[in-house]
Every structure is written in C-alpha cells, then in structure tokens.
Structure 1
Amino acid sequence: MIHTMRWFGPNDPVSLMDIRQAGCTGVVSALHQIPVGDVWSVEAIQERIQIIEQHNHNFTPLEWLVVESLPVHEDIKKGLPTKDFYIENYKTSLRNLASCGIKTVCYNFMPVLDWSRTNISYEMPDGSKALRFVWEDFALFDLFILKRPNAPLDYTPEVQASAKTKWENMSKEAIAELTNTVLLGLPGSEEAFDLNTFQGLLDQYAHIGDSELRNNLYYFIQQIAPLAQELGILLCIHPDDPPKSLLGLPRVVSTEDDLAQLMDACDVTANGITFCTGSLGVRADNDLPKMVKRFGNRIHFIHLRTTKREENPLNFHEAAHLNGDVDMYEVVKAFVEEEQHRKQTGHSNPSLPMRPDHGHQMLDDLHKRTYPGYSAIGRLKGLAELRGLELGIVRSMS
C-alpha cells in the first residue's frame, strides 16, 4: 500500500514535514477554502501542489495523491432542479484535477452532516483521548436541544426516559459542549453548524427518504463516472459515518448491499469505493474481509481505523488501530492479496493509497490544538502499527 496522511492545508497544525517524517510519500488533501459547488480552478489546484512539493528537492518527495474530498452540493443530494448546474461544475473540477495529474477523488453522499460524534475528547484507560458516539447522548440532543419534530419516533421509551433524566441534570456548559460536538460539521473545520438554522437544513429533506436519496446518488454517479473514466480519474465514495439513519435523514452507503447497488448503478471502474474500515466496522453485520474480496477491483482508496462497540452496541468509540472490532489482520491480508492480484494481471494501479484514519490524541498532542481525530502522534502510532502488520503479512506470503 502507498502510505499517506490527510492534510487540511496551510492552517493544519500538522505540518507536511510531520507527514514526511511519519514515513508517508502521499498526501491526501482538499481545497477547503473553495465553497461547496464552486469550480476548483487549475490555478488553485496547482497552488496546492506547489505547497505540497515545495521541499521535494531537499527531502523525501511528497505527492498530492488523493483528493478528500471534492464535496457534493446539497442540491445534488436533494435532487433539486439546480442539480445539473452543480454537476457540470463538478465535471469541470474533475477535468482540472486530471489536467494537473491528480487521479483519485474521494467524496461522500451523507445529507447535511458529514460525520457525527457526541464526544471528541473521550478519555481512554491510558489517558489518551478518542472520538466517541453515545446513542443516549445523541437522543438527548435530538429530543431536548434541537427538539426535532417526530424525533421521539426514532428512540425507544427507555432511551427517551434515560436521555430526559440526563438532560435535566446537565450543566449549561455540558449542553453547549454536546451541541457543538454534534454540529461540528466537516472534518478539518472547527466551525459548527448554527443550532438556530440547523432544523431548517433538516426540513429540506422532509420528503426525501431512502429510495429518493439512492436515486439522487445514482443519477449523480451516472453523470460523472463516465467522464471520470475518460479522464483516468478514480472516484471513490466514503461510507456513512456512523452507518445508520440519524436525525430522520436517510443513509444509503452503510452496508455491503448498499455498495453493491451503487457499483451496479454505473458499472465502470471509475465508480469506486473508499473502503473505510472504521465507518463500515461499526456495524457487526458488515464482514469487512469478505467485502474487500468482493469489491477489490472497485476499491481505490483505503482508510484503516477501528471502532469498539460498547455494552450498548449502539455506542462506540475509536479504538487503537489494532485493538477494536475490526479484524485488521484479515482486512490488511485481503488488501495485500488484492494488490498481488493486480500486479499479476498487469493492473495500471497495483498499489492502493492508504491512510491511517483518525488517531488518539496523546503524548505532547494533548497540550496542542488539533483537529478532532487528526492529531499527529496518534496517527503516527497507528501508521507504525499498520506498516508493521502489512510487512509481516507480505513476508509471510513470499
């Protein structure tokens, strides 16, 4: 695998030199400063390439290998009449990326929220801090802070009663912290959605259910994947995080069957998958090694992390990379076998870009400002473990 790390741009507390010293040769980045739906110009893309490569003549070269993410405008997800305008902009961005030599593009199709957690500083037994999702706390936010209409339909009476008791005993500071965490928005951002306008965003999906969102996703991919195929670009969708319906919003990229339907909707290589073991691994019914073997030729980008389901299986936290519910040995072995198969069959992209996704905030990073899940040392630890695991598997198979 090609070892990479995500870099959020010049304002990222983790530097490119940090990424280089971690042993990476690839950078995963995006132009977060460009509003969603606007075209990524050649000039803006080249500027980012130049920043990433500026020290390549003196140090180990770095390359912008993967775009994560080229975001999909909400009008496309909602299937509004304006969707085709934004799809054309998306196509122009793909053409510009291809002209600059960037050929792997990650995206997601999650409505409104990109990912959801209820705690971004959950203390682990060793004193490090992790991301956590607690169903009762999410219900508390939904029922008593947001007060979403029809929210009680999504929670059992037991969960509602427990959430209410907890709500009645929470301090204003704890309420504010939970609110800001749930509404955190996009990775790499420290700006949350505004509670006063958030319900309005949800209301726009009032008449969009599972089938409607699937159809909107399939329409989108059917419009852009053929062009991506011509350009030599590999599109790879990121699974839902967490992989279940939240806030009454449908989620349609959560299971093996979801991925199979999407691959069939536009059966070209360019229509592919970002295989995130953390997101998919939250669900016990997802057999990850089996999925790698089934979708191997359509997986273009890998996120390796694991979560740990708690006593209440609806709750989970980000575990150390080798210690959660994901059988990382079998997953990495399946990817090694896929890469070997690609080499044997003359595949044009035999090596898959992989990044250690998320990491515990630990050691010196506990005293620094970091993006949730993206501190340097936790990811460095995860990458070191994964590299060792990969090397051991490769050597055992030679």
Structure 2
Amino acid sequence: MRETWRWFGPLDKISLNQVRQTGASGIVTALHEVPYGDVWQTKDIETRKSEIECAGLTWDVVESVPVHESIKRGDGNLDALFSNYRQTLKNLAEVGITTICYNFMPVLDWTRTTLNAPVANGGAALRFEMAEYAAFDIFMLGRESDEHTAEIIAAATKWWESSTEAQQEKLTISIMSGLPGEYKRYDASGLADELKKWSDFTADDLRASLSRFVAEIMPTAAELGVKMCVHPDDPPRHLFGLPRIFSSQEDFDYLVGLDPHLSNGITLCTGSLGANPKNDVPAFAARFADRIHFAHLRNVAGESDGSFQESEHLDGDVDLVAVVRHLLDEEARRCETSRDDLIIPFRPDHGHELLDDSELDAHPGYPLIGRLRGLAEIRGTIAGLGYAGARA
C-alpha cells in the first residue's frame, strides 16, 4: 500500500515540505480553483505536478474531478459538460495521472455539525450530532419533513430554543465546511433555495443520472487506462431531503452492474461507510476488493440516535486492521494476476486536532499532527500484519 496525503494546493496551510516529513510519498490533490464543469488545462496540471515533484513527492490521485450539479440532476443538454469531463481525463492521463476520485453527492459533500468536538485526551474531532442537524433542518431551513423521530425533534427544539445567534452561525459554517476548494458556500437561506431545485428529485432519479454518467465517462476512462473511483456518501444517509445513492453494499452493487470494466471503481472510505452500523466495512472491502483503487482510512464511533464522532484511527466501530488485511491480500492477488495497478494508494483520512494543530488553522478535518498520528498507526498496522514492502 502506498502512503499518500491530502493536500489542498498552494493555499493549504500545510506545506509540501511538511507533508514530506510525515513519510508519505504521494499527494492527493486537485485543481480546486477551476470552476466545476470547466476543462482542466494540461499546462495547469503540469504546473501543479511539477510543484509537487520539486518537493520530492508524486501526484498519485486526483481528488476530485467534480461532477457538475447539472449532471447529477440531468438538467438540459449536458453534451458540453460530459465533453469537458472527458477532456480533463485525457489531459490528466497525458501527464501520467490516472487515479481519479469523485463523488455523486448532490449539493453537499461530507457534512458535520461540529468541527471541534472535545475528545478525552484533550484534542478535538469532527462530529455529526443528530439534534443539531435536525435543528438546522427544521428551524433554520424551515423544511417540512417526516425524516426526524419525535425524540430527535424534541432534542432539536431544546437546542434551538437555547441557542444563540453565534451558535447558529457556527452550525452553518460547520455544515458548509465539507465543500472543497472554491465551491460555493451557502448561508441557511441560500441552501434552502438550492434545496428547492431538488424538492421532487428521488434516489431513482439520481441513479438515472449516475447511469448516464457511467455510460458517458467510463468508456473513455477504460480507453485511457484511468481508474475512476467513486466516494461513499458521508454521512451514508439522505440529507436535508437530498437523495444519496452510495451508502450501502447494494448501492455499490448497482454501480458495478452498470459497467463491468475495472475502470468503474471505488474509493473505500472506512469512516463514511462505518457511520452506518448496518455496513460491515471489512466485508465490504472483501466483496469489492478488485474495484478498490484508492482508500481513505479513518474511524468513527456511532451512537444510538444516529449521531457519530470521528474516533482515533484504531479505536472505533470499524475493524480497521481487518480492512487493511483485505487490501493487502488484494494487492497480493493483483501481483499473481499481473494487473498493472498492483499498489493501492491510501491516505489517513481526517484526524483529531492535537497539540499545536489548532494554531495552524488547516482545512477542517485535515490537521497535520492528527493525521500524522493516523498515518503512523496505519503504517504500524501494515507492519504488524507482516507484509514486506508496506511503504511501497
């Protein structure tokens, strides 16, 4: 398995020199400044790649080439957007970057209600609190829904009635913080307006849009040798009435059924999948092992009402040791079958804010020391399982 590190480009508070000191050898990044739907120009890709290589690292994975919201909704004539997406893949492949992570979550990316929930050792973690989520949904968005239980509505009402304007603003910022790069952030009223565009949109509608995306993009990816790997929903549930279709094993079975070529692959995110207690993440890793082209390794601790908090990498609901074992076994199988993608890149996903992390003001969920700890723990797991060449 190859150690990589998420880097948000030149504006990232963590430098490439610091990344190199973690021991990771690969970078996971994107041209976040390019508007969604536009072509990534070869010269811009080459410039970013050269910057990374001058720091002694390699650009291993693109995360992400975003899927335009119009494609997800199936709005109008999409020929230009699909053509631009294919051209971006061609330009990336031309400079040797062939692993592409993407997601199919409408409007919002990963979503949390708190960015700095305290943890026992004095650090801070990302948290999804059902009562706060419901308070935002019911009172700040004003959305009518039968999604919430009576108990959650009561807890949400209690939070709302005692909350200050500053707390409400902090909640909005937390919910918006999962959006990467230059993506538009919303205030509560702006998000409510955006959600109206999706009011009658169902999971089946989103699957129809996915089917068209796969038909339009995967043949080009296969021709170029590009490995497309979709990211699971985070959290793995419908959100603010928005359908989500990558939350369970059955969802990924549907994806694989759309196109049998291995270019139609998966990003294994153990934390995203692990936030739903119905998901057996090690079993998921075993079932889809040959489709996993990239892995996000982290952990979560869930609660009975659906809330969850990001835990230490080796101390949560997901048996991360079993997951890593499946990935290493898959690499061994690939060697036996002479696949050209023998090594699975992974990155320590998210991390607790520890020690001086809070002073660095890095992208939420992506501290330096907290992720370094996660990387060290995963590195030790690989070594403990007795696999030689673990840091290829």
* Band the TM-score falls in, shorter-chain normalisation: over 0.9
**Post-superposition offset of 1:180:** 1.7
Is structure 2 residue 273 aligned with structure 1 residue 280?
A: yes
Q: Give the aligned residue type for 1:257.
A: E
Provide closer, same or farther for how the CA distance between residues 353 and 380 of structure 1 changes in structure 2, counting only shifts above 3 A: same
Task: Find 2:253's aligned residue among 260, 284, 298.
Answer: 260
5+ long unaligned stretches in structure 2: none
CA distance in structure 2 between the aligned counterparts of 1:225 and 1:288, rounded to whole angstroms: 26
Residue of structure 1 in register with 2:153 after alignment: 160
Alignment-derived partner of residue 10 in structure 2: 10
The gaps in structure 1 that reach 5 residues or longer are: 56-60
Q: Report Cα offsets for 1:300-335 as digits up to 9, x if no partner.
A: 00000011012x340100000000101011111111
Residue 349 and residue 396 in structure 1: after superposition, are their counterparts in 2 closer, same or farther (change >3 A)? closer
Which one of the candidate residues 281, 286, 291 is aligned to 1:293? Answer: 286
Alignment of 1:25-104 (within 5 A): 25-55=25-55, 61-104=56-99
| 2:367 aligns with one of 355, 375, 379 | 375
**Shift of residue 284, structure 1, vs aligned partner:** 1.4
Query: Structure 1 residues 135 and 189, CA, compared in 2 at 3 Å: closer, same or farther?
Result: farther
Alignment of 1:231-246 (within 5 A): 231-246=224-239
Distance 1:252 1:306, change over 3 A: same
Query: Who is 2:307 aligned against?
Result: 315
Give the equivalent residue in structure 2 for 1:221. 214
Aligned to 1:58: none
Matched, 1:331 2:323: yes
* 3-state SS in 1 of match to 2:288: helix
Q: CA deviation at 1:82?
A: 3.0
Distance 2:266 2:73 in 1: 22
Q: Matched residues in 2 for 1:262 and 1:41: separation?
A: 29
Q: 1:396 to 1:27 in 2, by over 3 A?
A: closer
- Report the TM-score when normalising by structure 2: 0.96
Say which is worse superposed, 296-305 or 366-375, in terms of deviation: 366-375
Q: Distance in 1 between matches of 2:389 and 2:14?
A: 35
1:172 lines up with 2:196 in the alignment? no
Q: Give how far 1:396 is off.
A: 9.5
Q: Does the CA contact (< 8 Å) of 1:218 and 1:266 recur in 2?
A: no
**Deviation, structure 1 residue 159:** 1.6
The Cα shift of 1:223 comes to: 0.9
Q: Name the CA distance, whole Å, in 1 between partners of 2:230 and 2:378.
A: 23
Q: Which residue of 2 aligns with 1:143?
A: 138
Aligned-pair Cα RMSD in Å = 1.6
Query: Counterpart of 1:393?
Result: 385
CA-CA distance at 1:353 after TM superposition: 0.5
Q: Distance in 2 between matches of 1:389 and 1:192?
A: 38
Whether 1:269 and 2:277 are equivalent positions in the alignment is no
Which one of the candidate residues 247, 258, 269 is aligned to 2:240?
247
Q: Please give the secondary structure, in 2, of the residue aligned with 1:394.
A: coil
Report how far residue 105 of structure 1 moved.
0.3
Aligned residue for 1:365?
357
**2: distance between equivalents of 1:147 and 1:359?**
33
- Counterpart Cα distance in 2 of 1:191 and 1:268: 34
Q: d(CA) in 2 for partners of 1:105 and 1:395?
A: 27
1:236 and 1:273 in contact (8 A); partners too: yes
Deviation at 1:266, TM superposition (A): 1.1
Q: Under a length normalisation based on structure 1, what TM-score does the superposition of the two structures give?
A: 0.95
Residue among 123, 126, 150 paired with 2:121 = 126
SS in 1 for 2:386: helix
**1:46-84 CA distance string (max 9 Å, x none):** 1101111123xxxxx311010000000000000112322
- Give % identity: 44
- In structure 2, the partner of 1:304 is 297
SS of residue in 2 equivalent to 1:323: coil
Cα gap change, 1:191 to 1:197, in 2 (>3 Å): closer
Task: Tell me by how many angstroms 1:346 deviates.
Answer: 1.1
Write the letter of the residue equivalent to 1:338: E
Tell me the distance in 2 between the aligned counterparts of 1:348 and 1:288. Answer: 26
